[in-house]
Amino acid sequence: MKMKSLNKQLFQRSMQLLLLFLVIIGFLQTSLIYLYTENQREMEVATYLEALQQTPDLLGEEEPLTKEASELAEDFASDANIVFYASSGEKQIIHTNRLFLINKQTAAYTEPVYYEGKAIGTIEIVYSIHESVELMLTQLIIYVIASIVILLLAWRFYRRMLRKTLAPLDSVIASVSEVSVDNLDEPIVIADAQADIAKLVDSTNELKVRLHDSFQTIEENQHKLQQFVSDASHELKTPLTTIQGYSEILLRGKLDNPEKIRYSLENMLDQTKRLTYIVNELLELSKLDRKVQMGKAELSLNVVLQELFPLLKMIQEGRELKLTIGEIPSVMMNRKKIEQVILNIVQNAIFHSDPKTPITIRTYQENEKVVMAITDYGEGIADEHLPLIFDRFYRVDTDRSRESGGTGLGLAICQDIMHAHNGEIDVQSTVGKETTFFIRFPKIP
């Protein structure tokens, strides 16, 4: 369907409206002129009749109207034909206006005439309305011509005016059609825009900002994904290369010493285990990414901690673990996943601090959150690493972490698990002093 342009539609409607107004005004004006002349006539008739009634000896029971009546007619209704019809049946012509006898456009008024309260006959006053009709027609012709001129002027100037008024809208349309990924950060500026158009421009600019942000997020995600694939490949490459190396040596049959064969096979097994571990962690992350629904139940973090505590103690024998339990309400959690988070943080704390230092675990309430804080008094994390340690594959000391079996995925998984609980995980650390990981759950409303 072909759509009409706003400009054209506004123009057409305005012209239709103007035409309608002109017709209404024309109709009203003609009617008023007609009513006015009609009223004039009626007033003349009334004045004449009044003069007739008030003139003494003008009317009599037997007497027909005298010649004074004709004189009065000459004074008050000179352009009328006046005839008196007496009750007796007698007809008396009082006044004649010969001029209009030839023209047929007349109006007649018939009024009863009274003498001493008694009707003595009727008087007929016939006027020519030729002049009034002519006046009306002339006026109508002038009005129609004026209206046509007004319409033509409106056609000529209103179109131009409308185009000028709607020019900012045309600029908006032109600017919007030029929007592309490359100019999303440049706002559209329209000079002399009316308030509504300025609002439209503002909303378009807001939309551009949102689109710009979305594109940036997509770009960042794409970059992250590339980085992730490259990191994952790199991570998988080391054990694969080791396995390939040992397999080739074994296949070449160069190892005759059973000790060396065993050593090679053990190494291959270790690397296979590491591969399995990495793949499992990647699968876990992918599941969290796909936001696969995890079953949750209302549980007390304190109970979970107390029950997990013996296992935590077993990670490093003789390690001092302090548990300070606060008064906290239950939260919605997937117990297995939260245990995984706690284990991961405690394992990191143990690995990055001296065995003689304690590790403390506290639970408490803060604002509308239920918090668990795990503190170790170890090496700490430098400020430049703090914002990055939750990134996938990020390790502060790559070699040391790898040696210990770390993949740099642990905290990334913890963060995803907490997000799946509508919660958060963050860290505070002072190098050489202490590190505290906080996990926060929203309270159940």
CB 151 within 8 A of CB 159: no
Q: Among all chains, which residue has been given the structure tokens 């942000």?
A: 213
Which has the closest alpha carbon to 284: 348, 334, 350?
334
Q: By C-beta, is 151 or 427 nearer to ligand ADP?
A: 427
Q: Which of 135, 255, 315, 396 binds ligand ADP (CB under 6 A)?
A: 396
Q: Does 352 bind ligand ADP (CB under 6 A)?
A: yes
Per the DSSP assignment, residues forming a β-bridge with 427 are 437
d(CA 30, CA 18): 18
Sign of the CA dihedral with 365 first, then 368, 370, and 371 last: negative
Phi/psi-derived region of residue 312, left when phi > 0, alpha when psi is between -120 and 50, beta in every other case: alpha
How many CB atoms neighbour CB 145 within 10 A? Answer: 10
Nearest-approach distance from CB 232 to ligand ADP, in angstroms:
14
Q: Which of 379, 425, 438, 440 binds ligand ADP (CB under 6 A)?
A: 379
d(CA 188, CA 177): 11
Nearest-approach distance from CB 416 to ligand ADP, in angstroms:
11
Nearest-approach distance from CB 390 to ligand ADP, in angstroms:
7
Nearest-approach distance from CB 392 to ligand ADP, in angstroms:
8
Q: Which of 435, 438, 439, 440 binds ligand ADP (CB under 6 A)?
A: 435
Q: By C-beta, is 93 or 382 nearer to ligand ADP?
A: 382
Q: Which of 37, 175, 271, 401 binds ligand ADP (CB under 6 A)?
A: 401
Binding range to ligand ADP, per CB under 6 A, among 181-189, 201-209, 362-370, 410-418: 410-418
Nearest-approach distance from CB 346 to ligand ADP, in angstroms:
9
**How close are the terminal C-alpha atoms of the chain, in Å?**
53
Q: Which secondary-structure segment (H or E) carries 298?
A: strand 297-299
Nearest-approach distance from CB 259 to ligand ADP, in angstroms:
32
Q: Does 420 bind ligand ADP (CB under 6 A)?
A: no
Could you tell me the maximum CA-CA distance found in the chain, to the nearest angstrom? 169
CB 345 within 8 A of CB 359: no
Q: By C-beta, is 239 or 408 nearer to ligand ADP?
A: 408
Phi/psi-derived region of residue 331, left when phi > 0, alpha when psi is between -120 and 50, beta in every other case: beta
Q: Which of 406, 426, 428, 442 binds ligand ADP (CB under 6 A)?
A: 406
Alpha-carbon distance values, 194 to 119, 158, 189 (Å): 75, 18, 12
Nearest-approach distance from CB 319 to ligand ADP, in angstroms:
13
How many CB atoms neighbour CB 161 within 10 A? Answer: 12
- Core vs surface per residue 360-399: b (16+ CB within 10 A) or e: bbbbeeeeebbbbbbbbbbbbbeeebbeebbbbbbbbeee
Number of residues binding to ligand ADP, judged by CB under 6 A? 22
Q: Does 389 bind ligand ADP (CB under 6 A)?
A: yes
Q: Does 407 bind ligand ADP (CB under 6 A)?
A: yes
Q: Does 176 bind ligand ADP (CB under 6 A)?
A: no
Nearest-approach distance from CB 387 to ligand ADP, in angstroms:
12
Query: Hey, which bits of 41-130 come out as E strands?
Result: 80-86, 91-95, 106-115, 118-128
Binding range to ligand ADP, per CB under 6 A, among 42-50, 141-149, 241-249, 399-407: 399-407
User: Per-residue x/- marks for ligand ADP, 299-338, CB under 6 A?
Assistant: ----------------------------------------
What token pair was written down for 101?
A: 């006898």
Q: Which of 94, 411, 417, 425 binds ligand ADP (CB under 6 A)?
A: 411
Q: Does 348 bind ligand ADP (CB under 6 A)?
A: yes
Q: Does 395 bind ligand ADP (CB under 6 A)?
A: yes
Q: By C-beta, is 122 or 357 nearer to ligand ADP?
A: 357
Query: Which residues of the chain form contacts with ligand ADP (CB under 6 A)?
Result: 344, 348-349, 352, 376, 378-379, 381, 389, 394-397, 401, 406-412, 435
